Amino acid sequence: MADPDALRRVCGAFATGVAIVATANAEGAPCGLTVNSFISVSLSPPLVLWTLRRASRTLPTFDRARTYAISILGEDQGDLARRFAGSTARPFDGVPHRRGRLGAPVIDDCVAYLECSPYDRFEAGDHIVFVWLVEQAHGVSQRPALAFQGGRYGRIASIAGA
């Protein structure tokens, strides 16, 4: 089996976008974190997945919730990515956001967002794989998305034509 550090280095070479996955807790307060494990799975039915560290404080909230939002961040939203990847207990405090039509929190000025409901969930090693049904897909702006590779945030300048 591969050494975990080598695996982390190699997987870190795979450049991804960055999203904030969010829901509301039992009291209705927003809860979310930065992820780059988000991918599209199926168009019919429309499915996406992402993986959550089993030890995450947010796991009970994501397990209990029934509506979710995935906000894809723009290249100028690196500070938000850092904030939602940190240890702040209430990362939404002071961050402009709104409730989507299904009620989950959506980051203002994100590049695009999805509203989802649960579809499947399974355990895989030290992570939980969440598969969600996409109920609504909203507004792709022409703004370039935030990129992440090798532990660093950046721009996808040539794709964006910039």
Residues that bind ligand FMN (CB under 6 A): 18, 33-37, 50-53, 56-58, 81, 84-85, 148
Q: Give phi and psi for 50, each to the nearest 5.
A: -155, 165
How, if at all, do strands 127-138 and 46-53 pair? Answer: antiparallel
Whether the CB-CB separation of 100 and 115 falls below 8 Å is answered with yes
Shortest Å distance, C-beta 143 to ligand FMN: 18
Shortest Å distance, C-beta 69 to ligand FMN: 15
Query: Both tokens of residue 136?
Result: 């609504």
| Measured torsion, CA atoms of residues 135, 58, 153, 5, in degrees rounded to the nearest 10 | -120
Shortest Å distance, C-beta 81 to ligand FMN: 6
Nearer to ligand FMN, 33 or 145 (CB): 33
Nearer to ligand FMN, 8 or 101 (CB): 8
Nearer to ligand FMN, 32 or 100 (CB): 32
Cα angle vertex 62, ends 58, 67, to 5°?
A: 140
Nearer to ligand FMN, 70 or 81 (CB): 81
Nearer to ligand FMN, 86 or 101 (CB): 86
Q: What string of DSSP letters covers 33-98?
A: EEES--EEEEETTEEEEEEEETT-TTHHHHHH-S-EEEEEPBTT-HHHHHHHTS--S-TTTTS-EE
Query: Both tokens of residue 61?
Result: 């909230």
Shortest Å distance, C-beta 9 to ligand FMN: 15
Shortest Å distance, C-beta 127 to ligand FMN: 7
